């Protein structure tokens, strides 16, 4: 018995020591709501550091599906009958992101137009160009030798075309739509979480009282014109945990604010379109894909739908949809989204229907020597404009600025309620190694350091900027001026002989459309078009960056 008592005593002592070590380990690990840096309590109801320690993962925003990132060969095509020499294969890595399941439809774009018209009435002088500048160009359907007035008059607004992809939208208009969508989605999220008054987005919104994501993050009280009846102070705040918490707003640390909607980069779009994930075996891609779907042909091989086209496109001269009674793609112009099977990422119409704008400025060569990670040409870095109070200045009805485009259309730069933005300066890039200037659209290509001269002899310092033949990209320089007699805008076309149409304002568009032959359905094919012009065969879809891990689910590596 004596031995047993000693043994029991030793066991109790060992157990106490083990519990003590475990307890210390838990305290030092930062688990729960205790800081591993200071040992202080996080999210204390009395105040202090507030942090969403229960955040799990980013949810897919409205309309988006997840695209897990990876490595792929960009620009690999099987045919180059156009001899553009702009598809040199390069290996690129794309981070995970989200992309619209379908192209932006007419009804989606009409919601944007309706909001602009209600909030910024075009009958008011200060706002008359906002709504008009956002309108798609419905005249793109006209043809000098064709009768297409039905689409001109009906395609955008008639409910028969509601779920068809919007067209007649320029790259600039698509970008502005994406910014508007960001604000409306985040506005809805904050209302749902109790940070904004319920239904304020419908009943209280005016030109002087709107919500902007960036303005809210900079200073929440600037939203809705500083109306505190709308911008709640901590009401139902889940981080503070108290109904009467004061001066606690949603921030980046809340995990509620979604990243911005935007146009996908060319690398993202091509990666998502080809969807090689369907050909993955272990850490390799087995076989090639010419189109977004499996196989090397455009027709369906399934028994029930055998022979049907997997996209709508021009199958030959005068053949936009087959013969009556057996239309093999069931369309002649565009078609309702989701009319054809999705690819392996669950994305619809990544070939056919309409071609799509992407974010990149066009250059014939993708510079993989400069970068092979999230490749994108088009960065123009900006910063907040600082007002007299030392804080970010908001755009107002009096300070709103418009740009007159080469086609004489007037486009707003930022909407009232958004933060005014200005270009960064040399002082902002002082001693930086990753970038040295704000405008990087022609970085390592077409700038003074990489100029190629046609016919001139001499060093790069001798380049005469007034000579049109001296620079690599000397595209036409069309202008718009005001007629002194009538006060109307008049276009001044550049009649000078030029060597190219490429400049810093032409953007890439990808994918084949209802007007294109099968050649253009290859996701690696690339074309360009001026960013302020529109057509009847280019639409767009939005993307959103993914924050956090590469994948929300554990995927097998074997």
Is 394 among the domain residues?
yes
- Distance, in Å, from the CA atom of 474 to the CA atom of 465, rounded to the nearest integer, reads 10
342 Cβ partners below 8 Å, 6+ apart? 101, 348
Residues 423 and 395 in one domain: yes
Q: What is the arithmetic mean of pLDDT over 120-124?
A: 94
- Asked if pLDDT for residue 366 goes beyond 70, the answer is yes
Q: What is the arithmetic mean of pLDDT over 282-298?
A: 82
Of the two residues 401 and 487, the one the predictor is more confident about is 401
- Asked if pLDDT for residue 23 goes beyond 50, the answer is no
Name the most confidently modeled range: 273-287, 299-313, 317-331, 357-371: 357-371
- Asked if pLDDT for residue 109 goes beyond 90, the answer is yes
Residues 455 and 495 in one domain: yes
Of the two residues 120 and 290, the one the predictor is more confident about is 120
- pLDDT at residue 100, rounded to an integer: 98
The average confidence (pLDDT) of the chain is: 85
* Residues of the chain above pLDDT 70, percent: 85
Eight-state DSSP code of residue 121: -
- pLDDT at residue 457, rounded to an integer: 37
- Distance, in Å, from the CA atom of 66 to the CA atom of 55, rounded to the nearest integer, reads 18
Is 405 among the domain residues?
yes
Least confident window among 85-94, 265-274, 395-404, 471-480: 471-480
- pLDDT at residue 8, rounded to an integer: 59
- pLDDT at residue 491, rounded to an integer: 77
Four-point Cα dihedral 405, 409, 410, 413, nearest 10: -50
Residues 426 and 449 in one domain: no
Of the two residues 418 and 490, the one the predictor is more confident about is 418
- Asked if pLDDT for residue 243 goes beyond 90, the answer is no
Domain count, the chain: 2
- pLDDT at residue 479, rounded to an integer: 79
- pLDDT at residue 83, rounded to an integer: 84
Domain boundary among 465, 488, 503: 503
Q: Residue 22, Cα to own-chain centre: how many angstroms?
A: 48
- pLDDT at residue 461, rounded to an integer: 41
Quickly state the pLDDT bin for 32 (edges 50, 70, 90). Answer: low
- pLDDT at residue 24, rounded to an integer: 46
- Distance, in Å, from the CA atom of 153 to the CA atom of 138, rounded to the nearest integer, reads 7
- pLDDT at residue 5, rounded to an integer: 61
Domain boundary among 478, 503, 528: 503
| Helix or strand run (H / E) with residue 4 | helix 2-28
Name the most confidently modeled range: 196-200, 210-214, 234-238: 210-214
- Asked if pLDDT for residue 190 goes beyond 50, the answer is yes
Is 305 among the domain residues?
no
Residues 413 and 446 in one domain: no
Of the two residues 208 and 239, the one the predictor is more confident about is 208
CB atoms within 10 A of CB 106: 23
Domain boundary among 460, 488, 503: 503
What's the per-residue H, E or C state across 83-117?
CCCCCCCEEEEECCEEEECCCCEHHHHHHHHHHHH
Query: Angle between the 106-119 and 171-192 helix axes, to the nearest 10 degrees?
Result: 80
Is 44 among the domain residues?
no
> Which residues constitute the domain of residue 480?
442-503
Q: What is the arithmetic mean of pLDDT over 390-404?
A: 89
- Asked if pLDDT for residue 37 goes beyond 60, the answer is yes
Name the most confidently modeled range: 1-10, 244-253, 454-463: 244-253
Instruction: Quote the radius of gyration of the chain (alpha carbons, Å).
Output: 28
* Contact between residue 511 and residue 485 where contact means Cβ atoms under 8 Å apart: no
Is 153 among the domain residues?
no
Eight-state DSSP code of residue 244: T
- Asked if pLDDT for residue 459 goes beyond 80, the answer is no
- pLDDT at residue 556, rounded to an integer: 58
- pLDDT at residue 546, rounded to an integer: 96
- Asked if pLDDT for residue 372 goes beyond 70, the answer is yes
Of the two residues 96 and 78, the one the predictor is more confident about is 96
- The upper half-sphere exposure of residue 410, i.e. CA atoms within 13 Å in the direction of its Cβ, equals 13
507 Cβ partners below 8 Å, 6+ apart? 171, 357, 358, 359, 360, 361, 362, 378, 528, 529, 530, 531
Is 49 among the domain residues?
no
Distances (CA, A) of 551 to 97, 254, 392, 546: 10, 21, 36, 9
Quickly state the pLDDT bin for 554 (edges 50, 70, 90). Answer: low
- Distance, in Å, from the CA atom of 353 to the CA atom of 351, rounded to the nearest integer, reads 7
pLDDT tens-digit map of 307-359: 788 899 999 999 998 888 877 788 999 999 999 999 999 999 999 999 999 99
Q: Is 255 left (phi over 0), alpha (psi -120 to 50) or beta?
A: left
Q: What is the arithmetic mean of pLDDT over 117-135?
A: 93
What's the per-residue H, E or C state across 26-58?
HHHCCCCCECCCCCCECCCCCCCCCCCCCCCCC
Is 267 among the domain residues?
no
Per DSSP, the three-state class of 18 is: helix
> Tokens for 134?
């956002």
- pLDDT at residue 115, rounded to an integer: 97
Residues 446 and 458 in one domain: yes
- pLDDT at residue 349, rounded to an integer: 96
Q: Residue 529, Cα to own-chain centre: how many angstroms?
A: 18
- Asked if pLDDT for residue 4 goes beyond 80, the answer is no
Residue matched to tokens 């204390």: 44
- pLDDT at residue 455, rounded to an integer: 44
Eight-state DSSP code of residue 302: S
* Contact between residue 480 and residue 502 where contact means Cβ atoms under 8 Å apart: no
- Distance, in Å, from the CA atom of 483 to the CA atom of 443, rounded to the nearest integer, reads 37
Residues 487 and 450 in one domain: yes
- pLDDT at residue 12, rounded to an integer: 62
Beta strands in 76-232 (DSSP E): 90-94, 97-100
Is 483 among the domain residues?
yes
Least confident window among 101-115, 170-184, 396-410, 513-527: 396-410
* Contact between residue 310 and residue 293 where contact means Cβ atoms under 8 Å apart: yes
Quickly state the pLDDT bin for 406 (edges 50, 70, 90). Answer: confident
Most distant CA atoms of the chain, gap in Å = 118
Residues 416 and 458 in one domain: no
- Asked if pLDDT for residue 454 goes beyond 50, the answer is no
- pLDDT at residue 444, rounded to an integer: 85
- Asked if pLDDT for residue 375 goes beyond 70, the answer is yes
- pLDDT at residue 489, rounded to an integer: 72
- pLDDT at residue 16, rounded to an integer: 53
- pLDDT at residue 31, rounded to an integer: 46
pLDDT tens-digit map of 203-232: 999 999 999 999 999 988 888 888 878 887
- Asked if pLDDT for residue 183 goes beyond 50, the answer is yes
**Nearest partner of 456 among 506, 494, 499, 503, judged by Cα:** 499
- Asked if pLDDT for residue 458 goes beyond 50, the answer is no
Distances (CA, A) of 296 to 66, 126, 291, 327, 523: 26, 55, 7, 21, 13
């Amino acid at each position: 018995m004596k031995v047993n008592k000693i043994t029991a005593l030793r066991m109790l002592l060992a157990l106490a020591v083990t519990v003590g070590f475990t307890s210390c380990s838990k305290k030092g690990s930062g688990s729960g709501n205790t800081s591993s840096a200071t040992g202080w309590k996080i999210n204390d109801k009395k105040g202090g550091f507030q942090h969403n320690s229960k955040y799990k993962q980013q949810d897919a925003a409205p309309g988006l599906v997840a695209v897990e990132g990876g490595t792929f060969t960009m620009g690999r095509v099987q045919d180059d009958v156009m001899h553009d020499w702009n598809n040199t294969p390069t290996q690129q890595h794309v981070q995970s992101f989200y992309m619209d399941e379908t192209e932006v439809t007419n009804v989606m774009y009409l919601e944007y137009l309706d909001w602009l018209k209600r909030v910024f009435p075009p009958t008011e002088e200060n706002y008359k160009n906002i709504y008009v500048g956002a309108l798609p160009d419905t005249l793109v359907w006209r043809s000098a030798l064709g009768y297409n007035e039905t689409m001109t008059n009906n395609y955008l607004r008639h409910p028969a075309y509601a779920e068809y992809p919007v067209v007649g939208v320029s790259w600039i208009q698509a970008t502005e739509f994406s910014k508007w969508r960001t604000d409306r989605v985040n506005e809805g999220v904050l209302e749902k979480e109790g940070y904004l008054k319920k239904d304020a987005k419908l009943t209280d919104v005016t030109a002087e009282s709107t919500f902007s994501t960036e303005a809210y993050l900079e200073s929440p009280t600037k939203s809705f014109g500083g109306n505190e009846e709308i911008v709640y102070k901590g009401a139902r705040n889940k981080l503070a945990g108290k109904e009467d918490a004061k001066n606690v707003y949603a921030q980046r640390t809340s995990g509620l604010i979604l990243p911005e909607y935007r146009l996908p980069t060319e690398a993202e779009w091509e990666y998502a379109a080809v969807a090689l994930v369907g050909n993955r075996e272990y850490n390799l891609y087995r076989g090639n894909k010419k189109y977004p779907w499996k196989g090397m042909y455009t027709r369906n091989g399934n028994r029930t739908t055998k022979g049907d086209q997997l996209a709508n496109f021009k199958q030959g001269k005068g053949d936009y949809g087959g013969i009556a009674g057996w239309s093999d793609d069931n369309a002649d112009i565009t078609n309702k989204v989701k009319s054809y099977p999705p690819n392996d990422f669950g994305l619809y119409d990544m070939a056919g229907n309409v071609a799509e704008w992407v974010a990149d400025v066009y250059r014939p060569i993708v510079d993989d020597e400069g970068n092979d990670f999230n490749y994108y040409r088009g960065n123009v870095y900006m910063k907040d404009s600082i007002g007299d109070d030392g804080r970010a200045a908001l755009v107002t009805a009096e300070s709103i600025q418009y740009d007159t485009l080469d086609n004489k259309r007037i486009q707003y730069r930022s909407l009232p309620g958004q933060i005014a933005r200005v270009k960064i300066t040399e002082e902002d890039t002082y001693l930086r190694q990753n970038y040295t200037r704000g405008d990087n659209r022609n970085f390592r290509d077409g700038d003074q350091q990489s100029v190629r001269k046609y016919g001139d002899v001499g060093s790069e310092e001798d380049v005469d900027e007034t000579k049109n033949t001296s620079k690599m990209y000397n595209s036409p320089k069309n202008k718009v001026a005001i007629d002194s007699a009538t006060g109307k805008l008049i276009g001044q076309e550049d009649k000078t002989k030029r060597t190219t149409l490429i400049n810093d304002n032409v953007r890439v568009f990808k994918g084949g459309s209802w007007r294109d032959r099968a050649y253009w359905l290859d996701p690696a094919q690339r074309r360009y078009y001026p960013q302020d012009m529109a057509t009847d065969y280019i639409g767009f879809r939005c993307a959103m960056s993914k924050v956090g891990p590469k994948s929300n689910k554990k995927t097998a590596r074997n």
